[in-house]
Amino acid sequence: MSWLNAKPCAVNPAIALWLQSTPPRGRVAELGSLADYRPHIAMKKTLITQAQRWALMLWLVFPLYGKADQFVEFTAEIDFDDWDYRLFKDRINNDPGQSHLMLPSLFTTSSPMRCVVGTNTWMIEFASENAKTTYWFTGTNIIEHSVITKGIPNRPRIGERFTRAYTSRDGNPGRPVRVPDIMGGGSICWLSFCSGAFLKREDRQIFPPGSFWKESSLVYSGWSDKVIAFEDGLGLPKSLDLIATNNQPIFQYQVHKSTNVLGWNFPLEFYCVQYLPTGANLLKLHLTAKGRLTSIKEGAKPEIPAEVRQAVQK
C-alpha cells in the first residue's frame, strides 16, 4: 500500500504544536535584529529548521507504511546415509539372514520437512519415526518442541510434549566439542535453507553436521571454511567447504539446481559429504546427504504457539 493513499494517522500533539510554532516562509522580519542586518542568513536558518522539522514528522509517520518483512514457506525431503554406522552394523552381522539382526533396507524413504524463513528468523519442522519436532529461531534463542505421534515400547506415550530453549544469537544449531548439537544431522536442513544471516557474520564458526568429529583429531587441529553464497538479500550458500589444516576437505556442500522466489535464491536440489580423519593425512567417508524442494511459496512470519511460549517460561 502506498503511503500517499494511506488513511490519516494520529500525530503526537507535541509534534503538532511544534510544527505550528514554526515561522512560515517569508516571516523573516519577526526574527528581529538578525534579520534586519543579515536577512539572507536568517532566511536560510528558518528554511533549514522548518525542513528539519518536516523531515522529523515524515520519519515518525512514514515507517508505519514501510514494507513488511518477507517470508518464504516450503517443503523438502532429505535423504541421509551414515556410512560409518552401516559398515559397523553389517560387519558385526556375520549372518545377514538371521531374523534378529535384520536391518532396514538401504533404500529408505527420504525425511520430509517444512520450513518458513525470513532474513533474521526461521522455523523448521521435521517428522521423525515417532514424533513431530519443530524448531523456531527468535533472534536470541532456538526453541525446540516435540509431540509424540506414535507409540513405541519403552518410549514416551502418544501425545506427550517436550519443550526446550537454547540460547543462540546467530541461529546456528551446531555446538562445539563436549556440547550436544541441537538438531544433529538435521542441521543440514538449516545450512541449506536458513543459514544466510549466520554466514554473513565475521565471527561465524561452522560445524560439520555429523557429530563424530568431536571424537577425532579435528578437536585439536580445527578447520577453516570457504563459502560461495547467492548474491541476494537472503544469502544462502551455493557451495561450502570445511577444510582441515592439512588442506583436506572434511565437509563439502553443493547446490545442484536452484530457483528464485521473491528475489531470494533457494536450492532445488543439493548434496553434501562429510569425512573423518583416521590417521596422518588420511580420511574416511562418514556421511552423505541429498535433498530437494517439493513445494515453495510466499509465506507469513512463523508464530510460536502460546502453549510453547508458556512452557519455555516455566
Give the CA count within 13 Å in the CB-facing half-sphere of 146: 16
- pLDDT mean across residues, the chain: 82
- Of 230, 129, 242, 234, which is closest to residue 171 (Cα–Cα)? 234
- pLDDT of the residue at 219: 93
pLDDT at 108: 73
pLDDT digits (tens, 9 = 90+) for 122-131: 999 998 889 9
Q: How far apart are CA 81 and CA 286, in angstroms?
A: 9
| pLDDT tens digits along 177-211 | 999 999 988 899 999 999 999 999 999 999 999 99
Ramachandran region, residue 57 (left: φ > 0; alpha: ψ -120 to 50; beta: rest): alpha
CATH 1.10.260 fits 71-95+108-313, yes or no: no
Q: What is the dihedral of CA 50, 51, 52, 53, to 10 degrees?
A: 50
Cα–Cα distance measured from residue 182 to residue 194, given in angstroms and rounded to the nearest whole number: 15
Decide which of 58 and 78 is more confident.
Answer: 78
User: What pTM did the predictor assign?
Assistant: 0.75
The separation between CA 277 and the C-alpha centre of its own chain, rounded to angstroms, equals 29
Residue 204 cell numbers, joined: 561465524
Residues of the chain with CATH 2.50.20: 71-95+108-313
Question: What digits encode the pLDDT tens for the residues 132-179?
Answer: 999 999 999 999 999 999 999 989 999 999 999 999 999 999 999 999
Helix (H, G, I), strand (E, B) or coil at 79: strand
Residue-wise burial string across 124-139, b where 16 or more C-beta atoms lie within 10 A, e elsewhere: bbbeeeebebbbbbbe
